[in-house]
Amino acid sequence: MRLLVVDDEATVRELLSDALRFAGFTVASAATGAEAVALAAREPPDLILLDVTLPGMDGFEVVRRMRATGGKVPVLFLSARDAPDDKVTGLSAGGDDYVTKPFHLRELIARIEAILRRAGSGPPSIGGLTLDPDTSEVTRDGRVVRLSPTEFRLLRHLIAHAGRVVSKPDLLAAVWRYDFAGDTGIVDTYVSYLRRKIDTSPPRLIHTQRGAGYVLKVPPP
């Protein structure tokens, strides 16, 4: 699932984005309300985590503008403003939930997943391959596939970008959180592990794009 984190404080924005990536989400970020509106229109995320106090256009106005143009992306407000009136304003503007700072990351992730379930974003399934982010269960044609935590994060990232080539450096950043001093051999190794567990029967899903990276291809119907 793709998340958009919107916060004008760079440290908060980067720490939260990193934590959510580690939890398995694909994350984009924005520092202002105007930037958030533009990003959400260009490539709609599955959910927006939105600070209320933003320069120029506050979070409430961001949601009002998106809803006025038909945008239905779920929004979870994150704010230090904890007055009941602020919460009512946020939900009335079109927000789906309101969490006050500071917050516990596990609770935040649980709220994100609850909103995604209500929005109908169920476990992704491609070519008989299903990944359930709530239970961390993976199946292929009804058969349970047991993956290590690293294999699961790698597969989740490939599914999130299904049909698009993901470079090895991007996979290193998203799955391993650091670059192994530029050594992408660890990516090749884990893709090989995944193939042995996932691509045991046709159609083959994980493909190598020589000189570019890897792609999880959606098979034709």
pLDDT tens digits, one per residue of 50-104: 999 999 899 999 999 998 888 889 999 998 888 889 899 999 889 999 999 888 8
CATH value of 2-120 in 1.10.10.60, 1.10.150.670, 3.30.9.10, 3.40.50.2300: 3.40.50.2300
Query: What residue segments make up the domains of the chain, in order of their start?
Result: 2-120, 125-216
> Strand 213-216 relative to strand 206-209: parallel, antiparallel, unpaired?
antiparallel
Q: How confident is the model at residue 215 (pLDDT cuts 50, 70, 90)?
A: very high
Looking at the domain that runs over 125-216, which CATH code has it been given?
A: 1.10.10.10
DSSP string, 15-84: HHHHHHHHTT-EEEEESSHHHHHHHHHHS--SEEEEES--SSS-HHHHHHHHHHTT----EEEEES---H
pLDDT tops 90 at residue 16: yes
Q: What is the pLDDT of residue 124?
A: 59
151-165 in b/e burial notation, b at 16+ Cβ within 10 A? bbbbbbbbbbbbeeb
Strands 143-145 and 137-140, how do they pair?
antiparallel
**Residue of 3, 26, 48, 43 whose CA lies nearest to 154:** 26
Helix (H, G, I), strand (E, B) or coil at 194: helix
Alpha-carbon distance 139 to 159, whole Å? 13
Phi, psi of 137, deg, nearest 5: -95, 135
Provide the 10 A C-beta neighbour count for residue 20.
Answer: 21
- pTM exceeds 0.75 for this model: no
What is the average pLDDT value for the chain, to the nearest integer? 87
* Alpha-carbon span 2 to 173, nearest angstrom: 16
pLDDT reading at 128 higher than 70: yes
